[in-house]
Amino acid sequence: MNNFYTWLKELKDEDSPIGDLSNDMMRYDSSVNINNDRESWHSHLSIKGACSEAHDALDEAWDEYSVSH
């Protein structure tokens, strides 16, 4: 089973807020080490100074990921 990071990485070419989130997260080497839970990802975004839209995209992405995993 793919973790969220691997799943999100596959969406980097998507023209959507989730695709934007994927591209942003792939810029940070530390993203690969984030625990595989929503709260850890939100914490990581906050540390990186992400805007509220990035947090919204994360929630949308996590919901999609959760359905398939």
Give the Cα separation of 69 and 67 in Å (integer). Answer: 6
Reported as a single tens digit per residue, the pLDDT across 6-61 is 999 999 999 999 999 999 888 877 778 889 999 999 999 999 899 999 999 999 99
Q: What is the pLDDT of residue 19?
A: 96
Q: What is the token pair recorded at 27?
A: 């810029």
Q: Is the pTM of this model over 0.85?
A: yes
Give the Cα separation of 23 and 51 in Å (integer). Answer: 15
Q: What is the pLDDT of residue 1?
A: 57
Q: What is the pLDDT of residue 57?
A: 97
Angle of CA points 1, 52, 47, to nearest 5°:
70
